[in-house]
Structure 1
Amino acid sequence: MITDTYTGCYPGSQWKAVWSPTESGYGVTEGGASGAPFLNQEHLIVGTLTGGASYCGASQNMSYDYFGKFDYHWASNGQSNIERLKPWLDPGNVGSYICQGYYPTSTFGMVQGQIYNDINQNCSIDDFEHGIGSYIVEIMPGNITISTNSYGIYSIDSLPEGTYYVTVDTTNQNLNPTCPVTQELIISNSQSVTYAPSFGFYSDQACSDPSISVYAPILRRCFDYQELYVVAHNQYAATSYLEEAYVILELDELISINSSNIPFVELGNSEYRFDIGNVGPGQTISIALLVEVSCDAVLSQTLCMSAKLLPIDECALDNSTNIPGGATGDIPECTLPWDHSSLNVDGWCENDSIYFLITNTGDFGDGDMQCVSPVRIFIDGVLTQVESIQLDGQETYMYAFEATGQTWRLEVDQHPLHPGNSYPNAVVELCGDIVNWVPGYIDSQYQDDADPVVDIFCGQIVGSYDPNDKSQSPTGVGELGFIGPNQMLEYRIRFQNTGNDTAFTVVVKDTLDSNLNLFTVVPGVASHDYEFSIENGRVLVWTFNDILLVDSITNEPESHGFLTFKVEQNPDLPYGTVINNDADIYFDFNDPVITNELVYTIYDFNPLLLSQSIFFANEEVSVFPNPADEVLNICFTKTDSDVKGLFKIVDLTGKEIYIEGFSTKSSDYTINIEGLDSGIYILITFMENTMYANRFVVK
């Protein structure tokens, strides 16, 4: 379909449509069909048939028609208003440019409004102003939440008669409202169309609104041609192009590319560059790859990949989101202006050691750190050490630890006023004695992808799996999914047609927990094209129309689909808050398939470390036997005076299992552990304002 001119018509006022041949090889229209509607992908009329060369007996090279553009019909056609559509379809000059169809004789009405780019800032939609898609409004009372379509239209079936108030989302920092953000809506006739308030926004700066998402639905060792998806998007609220944009995809060294739908340049070190050009507001670029996972991968090992959307438009970085942070020990809070420092963390396994390298990528002199930053070290999800660091620009500092086979994580805080929401960290697993390895800890805590221009996916190598399931990132620590407050969460939903026929439509519904911020939902990468909406307050809906998802018996590899989305927690959730989530998957008219339920629990990982030092692998306290099964013997090196203190046993989630005060002159002490399940535990001993920790195993 292209813009063209039909004989005798105004130049550029027509769509020229070239038809694909029918089964008989001929065109698709016939004489007498003039005025027939021309529909877009959203089933809205965008033109009417003027004429053309196609007819039932036409050859393929004659199968084209001309359709008069609806936007030309609207206000430019003919010599007077009687020949134009706007005076007939918008006599009240409401300003709506989209009209959803409805049945006039129906007993149901419709409520419809619009969010638009108010270029002249007059709180009135004009001919040259367009709608803004994917914006959210809330109608009260009723707690009704609706998102706009790609034309900026929000609509809902009729409301009971009465007075309501509509509030528009104002979280986008680059758009300023030109109308009151809360407006009155009066429903006087619930069986007719009611035009709801419209909301204008303008931008005083040109700024993109980028997002990127990367996902591999299944990772299997020794298999090639496995699917991996990257989606780069400049959202509808953008006021500028992403100019000369490109994606840097970094894969785990155990993953290699078989093919891609977009050409790429290999940069080395498992990095690949994809040039995607200028990306306009509302435009999406999808990169589909097929990859191979090496046989050197281990079952349940976690492989990570990251995608970055560059160059970065600094105005697109949100500086308001709280970074999770954590224990800071005795390090004072930094109150100085940003010093142009920027920290980066790398981690790797080499021989019998684990290394972490912290680099200040700021310029020497201009990017020197003016404040000390805390460094936190976790082993199997448990905070074991808090250090501090202060580096000049381009300076590095390396930490080295003996490899134990456990999963080690090091994280460091950026300057509090560092642009965006960078959260540098690195995780190393499977280094050392594999007997001590517990899978799954790499993704149990936050990745460094809170900024919209970067996304990190970490997936475990699997054998068999549930074809209709839901997962989350971070996974959280332990069965209760312990995470810290104030951070972005990502959910992933997989589905498979396990029936015996093709599914024509798949609908996924996800009711968002009340502890999550609905206004921060960002749909991510998906296996197929979809329409996204919000229904009945907090129900997120993905509709895959015409998906033609083949059944698993006919073609197992093509029977799968998935979607992803991100959402932030409500600010400052109290410790102990539980966030539950699952999803319903509908295949055509069948009953829904309900996924597994996920859980997060907001937890303070660091309360014991704020004012005390902790010593692992210490010489003051030792335990034996290890592994143990009935009793745990504790030995003190100090025996010249009374030893007083407190014992606490916690599991790897931080859950308190046992607590007891003690006072003894003996060099040893015994605790009965018969009631503990098999697993790994930590004995924390408090003595003389110092905390010691010993890891032990219950057989």
Structure 2
Amino acid sequence: MNGEFIAIGSSGYQQIMVNNLPYGIDTLSFVKLDAEGNVLWVQNRTDSFLAYSNWVTGQTEINPTSDGGFIVTGTKFSILNSVVHNKAYLIKLNTVGGVTWEQELNLATAESHAFSVKETFDGGYVVSGRAGDNSVLVKINSSGTIQWTSTLFVGQFSSTTQEHWNPSDVIQDSDGNYLVTGGFRGATYGLRLYKVNSQGVILCSQEVVNGNYTGYTGKKVKETSDGGYVIVGNVTDFTIAHWMFVCKVDSAGRAVTTAIEGNVYADLNNNCAWDTLEYPLHNWVVIAEGNHGQTYYANTDASGHYSIPAEFGIYAVTLSVPNPYWDTVCIGLGTAILDTIFEIDTIDFPVNAAISCPLLQVDISSAALERCFTSTYYVEYCNWGMADASNAYVEVELDPFLTYDTSSIVGVHLGGNLYQFALGTVERGTCDEFWIDVMVTCDTNLTGITHCTEAHIYPDSLCLSPWTGPNINVEGICLGDTVLFKVMNSGGNMLSSLNYNIFEDNVMMMIGGYNLGSGQIEDVYVPAQSGKTYRMEARQVPNFPSLLGDTIIGLALEGCRLNSNGTINTGFVTQFSNYDGNPFVDVDCQPNVGSYDPNDKLAYPVGYGAEHYIYQHTDLEYYIRFQNTGTAPARTVVIIDTIAQYLDIASLRVGASSHNYSYEIYGNGIVKFTFDNILLPDSTTNYRASQGFIKYKIEQKPNNPIGTIINNNADIYFDYNAAVRTNTTFHKIGADFVTIQLVGIKNVMQPNVIVNVYPNPFHEVATIKIEGTEFTKIEFELYDLTGRVVYQKTTNETSFNIHKSDLIQGVYVYRIVADGKLLNTGKLIAR
């Protein structure tokens, strides 16, 4: 407590007999000491508190409160007409030990006891104790008024039966729930943990350990960084032996004694056994799915070993293979049966090389781009293939408003803002990193603009069967009052047309189509308004290889024309995905900042609008930034991130970071990053060096329901200090969230032709009717808002129907091409 100590103790113990029963009585003292043990103040009380009786051990507890004072609880003792009255009692002290208020807890019973008290997040308090023979949890407000009481255990106390449970400790965890542990007196002697929500509803009552002729008493419970808890206490054999115990449990209070473990390694000779020259595979993810619906994860360590603690059950155990260069032909699916205490089932995964070839990956990022200051990009590169990559290099194209300063390896200037960095040989299964210092623009009119920097690693060829289909790319150029987008095909001929969407800020303003032969380019000119951001999204063909990139290509141009005051609209680039799924290329887009709060979490894309909408297929990139704001260097930084249930932790790919780290995946979706021996200086000593970050990318699980909210935060630990919790990022899964205002094109592209689409919106059937001329071939295409073709029809009829049964409810964009020429585009809504 800021280097000071508070103690509670007895200042006048005595034993008395009442009706031939013994009672131990204390008068209490409170003492505050400084860091050297000097007494700052002492407060003595003259009233009596229970130390013990023939059937309960009295307990007092003192804890600091957020106002600088203290809260005390215990059982107040009194005798009236030879009858003992034990009452749960609370005392609120101020900063110097003076009484702010004190009162008896009115639990509507003749006997009540209080054992533990803690301040709660809302400024009130929670007390564990007894009301008669029943164990209770009591929530009170800041002035001591009871808000609710929850009965945890109904005890029995008579001349023949004595069974009750003393709840000796209560805490509030990071989710706002209350955890209570204690000890039984009577016939049951197991260790128990209760979990109660903020309204007093019992979420679970877990027997952690069965007594089996021994007695367990939980004395203290604490939350652990993985979302579980640790209980400490004592155990006895009811003779003369007593021991202390420490018990680790999961979030449901279960102590796991069984596990699945094994090794993952490269099986070079394909004999499904680990031979001398074969090597372990690091950070591969193993998944165990139990027959009771539980799923657990673990990644392999540097020796290729994994371990998954799991309770009794039958588990299907699989290995997540990160790319098609590898194959698990030896063991595609393992089965683990855990039915005996302390059992460990072993499943190894020999991994064969489907293709013996290097596969490079690059990632680039910065903790922040601070305007007018030097900022640092970190470039991480890895070889996830089965062969070394010779003569490797990375080309980095900096954003136009960034200026190269220096780098940890020599950068060769190739012209413009393009630099090349030689890596030499990148060995299989290894990763490394270098950094680049850049100066960020000082133009105050460009505050908050987005800087996009691209890294491309070579060699970038694939060893799979060569792709002979189309490969679509997009480029953009600002031409004063016009934006030029170029749709280019560097692959084979397209067999059918695809479409592009163009956005102004975050409004879809134009759609169009392209059908390009090999090497062909389609130019699209868009009038540019002052201050606006323009974005094009185009699609690859449906069977485009995932190793070559995403099925959508996106490019944004921010501020081609300045507003009259020299500024531009900002914040629209990062609402959408970069679509940089190609492992050889990574694009980092982030706005410049004047200053920023340390120890936070960022997510890209930010998402569309205030609801942060994303599509079901959108991958997420998370940045966790940290800074040592203490007064001494931090030797170790640990980040605990519990991944949302809607994200696939097996797809996690850790990217660039400011410092060396290791990471561990465990439980049902937790990742732990550890920066050992980081020696992070405090911010007053070296502001820039006191900061750090880690970045990772993760996919959604398939078919997340529309409306799903994905929240994410992280806890940051500096040495042995309490966790610093970041802000919570959020995204909402949507489908029809983009605003559509089609402009810049005529409604009908040919004179004397009328196109009617009715009814619109429609529930069952919509009719498309073309009047004014006849056509030999009419092509109708319907797209969802991601640009995916969901319906096609080719006809020579000028009137035809669209049925709701062919679609799902939503907003669509249609395109009509008549005899090879664009005739009409518009919006169609299916209810």
Q: CA deviation at 1:552?
A: 0.6
SS at match of 2:575: coil
Q: CA deviation at 1:556?
A: 0.8
Q: Is 1:482 aligned to 2:617, yes or no?
A: no
Which one-letter code corresponds to 1:616 in the other structure? V
Instruction: Give the Cα separation in 2 of the matches to 1:200 and 1:532.
Output: 22
User: Which one is further off, 546-555 or 130-139?
Assistant: 130-139
Instruction: Give the Cα separation in 1 of the matches to 2:326 and 2:759.
Output: 61
1:430 aligns with one of 549, 556, 559: 559
Aligned to 2:318: 167
Which one-letter code corresponds to 1:409 in the other structure? R
String of CA shifts for 1:583-616, please: whole Å, max 9, x gaps.
Answer: 111111112111111111222248998xxxx642
Aligned to 1:549: 680
Instruction: Give the Cα separation in 2 of the matches to 1:573 and 1:465.
Output: 33
State whether residues 500 and 511 of structure 2, in contact with CA within 8 Å, keep that contact through their aligned partners in structure 1: yes
State whether residues 339 and 370 of structure 1, in contact with CA within 8 Å, keep that contact through their aligned partners in structure 2: no
Aligned to 2:275: 126
1:563 aligns with one of 673, 691, 694: 694
Q: Is 1:304 aligned to 2:452, yes or no?
A: yes
CA pair 145-431 structure 1, distance change in 2 beyond 3 A: same
Instruction: Give the Cα separation in 2 of the matches to 1:463 and 1:122.
Output: 58
- Unpaired runs of 5+ in structure 1? 1-104, 320-337, 621-642, 647-653, 655-683, 694-699
Task: Map 1:334-353; keep pairs closer than 5 Å.
Answer: 340-353=469-482
Structure of larger gyration radius: 2
Q: Is 1:199 aligned to 2:349, yes or no?
A: yes
Which one-letter code corresponds to 1:119 in the other structure? L
String of CA shifts for 1:652-677, please: whole Å, max 9, x gaps.
Answer: xx9xxxxxxxxxxxxxxxxxxxxxxx
Instruction: Give the Cα separation in 1 of the matches to 2:583 and 2:644.
Output: 22
String of CA shifts for 1:434-473, please: whole Å, max 9, x gaps.
Answer: 3795311112112131111111111111112111111112
Q: Is 1:384 aligned to 2:509, yes or no?
A: yes
- Output the aligned Cα RMSD: 3.2
Which one-letter code corresponds to 1:505 in the other structure? T
Which one-letter code corresponds to 2:453 in the other structure? M
Q: CA deviation at 1:370?
A: 3.2
Q: CA deviation at 1:548?
A: 0.8
Instruction: Give the Cα separation in 2 of the matches to 1:645 and 1:521.
Output: 43
Q: Is 1:395 aligned to 2:516, yes or no?
A: no
2:266 aligns with one of 117, 131, 153: 117
Aligned to 1:149: 301
1:214 aligns with one of 364, 379, 389: 364
Aligned to 1:79: none
CA pair 556-370 structure 1, distance change in 2 beyond 3 A: same
Instruction: Give the Cα separation in 2 of the matches to 1:183 and 1:448.
Output: 35
Task: Map 1:237-256; keep pairs closer than 5 Å.
Answer: 238-256=385-403
Instruction: Give the Cα separation in 1 of the matches to 2:381 and 2:713.
Output: 26
CA pair 401-155 structure 1, distance change in 2 beyond 3 A: same
CA pair 206-644 structure 1, distance change in 2 beyond 3 A: closer
String of CA shifts for 1:367-418, please: whole Å, max 9, x gaps.
Answer: 4433222011112222222100123333333222222122111121123334
SS at match of 2:593: coil
Which one-letter code corresponds to 2:416 in the other structure? N
Which one-letter code corresponds to 1:155 in the other structure? S
Instruction: Give the Cα separation in 2 of the matches to 1:180 and 1:589.
Output: 42
String of CA shifts for 1:630-651, please: whole Å, max 9, x gaps.
Answer: xxxxxxxxxxxxx9988xxxxx
Instruction: Give the Cα separation in 2 of the matches to 1:608 and 1:258.
Output: 41
CA pair 361-196 structure 1, distance change in 2 beyond 3 A: same
2:640 aligns with one of 509, 517, 522: 509
SS at match of 2:648: strand
Q: Is 1:265 aligned to 2:412, yes or no?
A: yes
State whether residues 539 and 553 of structure 2, in contact with CA within 8 Å, keep that contact through their aligned partners in structure 1: yes
String of CA shifts for 1:330-382, please: whole Å, max 9, x gaps.
Answer: xxxxxxxx7643322222323222222223334xxxx4433222011112222
SS at match of 2:689: helix
Aligned to 1:359: 488
Aligned to 1:417: 543
Aligned to 2:586: 455
Query: How does the TM-score come out when normalised to structure 1?
Result: 0.65
Instruction: Give the Cα separation in 2 of the matches to 1:202 and 1:306.
Output: 33
Task: Map 1:93-112; keep pairs closer than 5 Å.
Answer: 112=261
Aligned to 1:83: none
CA pair 285-507 structure 1, distance change in 2 beyond 3 A: same
Which one-letter code corresponds to 1:463 in the other structure? G
User: Which one is further off, 253-262 or 477-486?
Assistant: 477-486
String of CA shifts for 1:203-224, please: whole Å, max 9, x gaps.
Answer: 132122332110021112222x
SS at match of 1:424: strand
What number of residue pairs does the alignment pair up?
496
User: Which one is further off, 521-530 or 290-299?
Assistant: 290-299
Q: CA deviation at 1:618?
A: 8.2
1:295 aligns with one of 431, 439, 442: 442
Instruction: Give the Cα separation in 2 of the matches to 1:552 and 1:501.
Output: 9
Instruction: Give the Cα separation in 2 of the matches to 1:606 and 1:487.
Output: 14
CA pair 618-260 structure 1, distance change in 2 beyond 3 A: closer
Which one-letter code corresponds to 2:354 in the other structure? D
CA pair 111-340 structure 1, distance change in 2 beyond 3 A: closer
State whether residues 621 and 696 of structure 2, in contact with CA within 8 Å, keep that contact through their aligned partners in structure 1: yes
State whether residues 383 and 605 of structure 1, in contact with CA within 8 Å, keep that contact through their aligned partners in structure 2: no
Which one-letter code corresponds to 1:421 in the other structure? G
State whether residues 360 and 459 of structure 2, in contact with CA within 8 Å, keep that contact through their aligned partners in structure 1: no
String of CA shifts for 1:476-522, please: whole Å, max 9, x gaps.
Answer: 11122111222322111111011111111111111111211121111
Instruction: Give the Cα separation in 2 of the matches to 1:231 and 1:171.
Output: 17
Task: Map 1:16-55; keep pairs closer than 5 Å.
Answer: none
State whether residues 208 and 239 of structure 1, in contact with CA within 8 Å, keep that contact through their aligned partners in structure 2: yes
Instruction: Give the Cα separation in 2 of the matches to 1:427 and 1:690.
Output: 23
- Unpaired runs of 5+ in structure 2? 1-244, 248-256, 748-757, 762-784, 786-812, 814-823
Instruction: Give the Cα separation in 1 of the matches to 2:246 and 2:306.
Output: 20
Q: CA deviation at 1:111?
A: 5.6
State whether residues 276 and 285 of structure 1, in contact with CA within 8 Å, keep that contact through their aligned partners in structure 2: no
Aligned to 1:581: 712
SS at match of 1:502: coil
SS at match of 1:461: strand
CA pair 339-203 structure 1, distance change in 2 beyond 3 A: closer
Aligned to 2:433: 286
Which one-letter code corresponds to 1:438 in the other structure? N
Q: CA deviation at 1:186?
A: 4.7
Query: How does the TM-score come out when normalised to structure 2?
Result: 0.55
CA pair 313-487 structure 1, distance change in 2 beyond 3 A: farther
Identity between Structure 1 and Structure 2 (%): 32
State whether residues 616 and 692 of structure 1, in contact with CA within 8 Å, keep that contact through their aligned partners in structure 2: no
CA pair 487-240 structure 1, distance change in 2 beyond 3 A: farther
State whether residues 118 and 200 of structure 1, in contact with CA within 8 Å, keep that contact through their aligned partners in structure 2: yes
CA pair 260-519 structure 1, distance change in 2 beyond 3 A: same
CA pair 537-504 structure 1, distance change in 2 beyond 3 A: same
Q: Which has the higher contact order (CA 8 A, sep 6+)?
A: 1
Which one-letter code corresponds to 1:182 in the other structure? L
Instruction: Give the Cα separation in 2 of the matches to 1:126 and 1:389.
Output: 54
Q: CA deviation at 1:132?
A: 1.2
Aligned to 1:314: 462
Aligned to 2:743: 616
CA pair 148-304 structure 1, distance change in 2 beyond 3 A: same
State whether residues 207 and 313 of structure 1, in contact with CA within 8 Å, keep that contact through their aligned partners in structure 2: no
State whether residues 407 and 437 of structure 2, in contact with CA within 8 Å, keep that contact through their aligned partners in structure 1: yes
State whether residues 337 and 345 of structure 2, in contact with CA within 8 Å, keep that contact through their aligned partners in structure 1: no
State whether residues 365 and 379 of structure 2, in contact with CA within 8 Å, keep that contact through their aligned partners in structure 1: yes
